[in-house]
A = this chain, B = another copy of it.
Amino acid sequence: MQGYDKHAFEPFAVTVDLAVLTIRAGALHALLVERGQEPYAGRWALPGGFVRPDESAEDAARRELAEETGLADVSGLHLEQLGTYSDPDRDPRMRVVSVAFAALLPDPPEPHGGGDAAQARWLPYAGAGPLAFDHDRILADAHERVGAKLEYTCLATAFCPPEFTLGELQQVYETVWGTALDRPNFRRKVLATPGFVEQVPGAARLTGGRGKPAALYRAGGATTLHPPLLRPTTEGLSS
């Protein structure tokens, strides 16, 4: 640990990769870009890019998120660091260390390739692979992380528009977890957690064309969920 010398070490490129998730038509979708050149030409990949000299990885991720989605304001979107992928061989061209992020957004606006990348598209999570580089693993890690955080945080509202019904909120859980939930119990659980959601007074909306109009809710101030909303026995043990 003698004095730093900018050339005492092999230079690393530092990038960000984004696992941008949303729920469309009852299925989990991810935002992907098609690679035009080698390596992995023609394969789908997570959007991402270099971290610039004057920004943090978080800054870079939000910048890329805005560029790739084409959204004017991404400041309210949930963006969370997933982890860093640093295998020496993950990019055959050179040493690239990538900080991966998961981003969650509500109703999916069709993206336009406003940024430097090729056209980005929403593809169903199931059957999206195989992706370029180690992006299959990053995307799977993002799914796993989000699924786990639904249990003990109020994250689910990040998938919903500003005003949503409890049925839509439940669909978030069911889609990410891939399981069905009991509606009455889900409803009670959510409403019993102070600050998870708050009702929009007097508002209601029809959902499936038919049926009773559903009351509308907004995300509340709470971030954690005590007690947690556990997904039905992932593994075959107790309870």
Contact = CB atoms under 8 A, between A and B. Distances in A.
Secondary structure call for the A interface: loop
A138 B14 CA distance: 20
Interface in A1-38: 1, 3-4, 6, 9-14, 37
A149 to B, nearest CB: 11
A97 B227 contact: no
A99 B116 contact: no
Interface in A43-66: 49-58
A235 B226 contact: yes
A170 interface: no
Interface stretch (A70-78, A80-88, A198-206, A208-216): A80-88
Nearest to A96: B4
A42 interface: no
A179 interface: no
A84 B55 contact: no
A192 B94 contact: no
A166 interface: no
Interface residues of A, number: 50
A191 to B, nearest CB: 11
Given A1-B116, A11-B6, A95-B53, A233 B238 contact: no
Contacts of A238: 192-194, 226-227
Given A55-B88, A84-B99, A9 B13 contact: yes
A4 B13 contact: yes
A57 B99 CA distance: 12
A39 B99 CA distance: 26
Contact of A4 (B6, B93, B116): B93
Given A11-B11, A233-B226, A99 B86 contact: yes
Interface of A: 1, 3-4, 6, 9-14, 37, 49-58, 81, 83-84, 86-88, 93-95, 97, 99, 116-117, 192-195, 222, 224, 226-228, 230, 233-235, 237-239
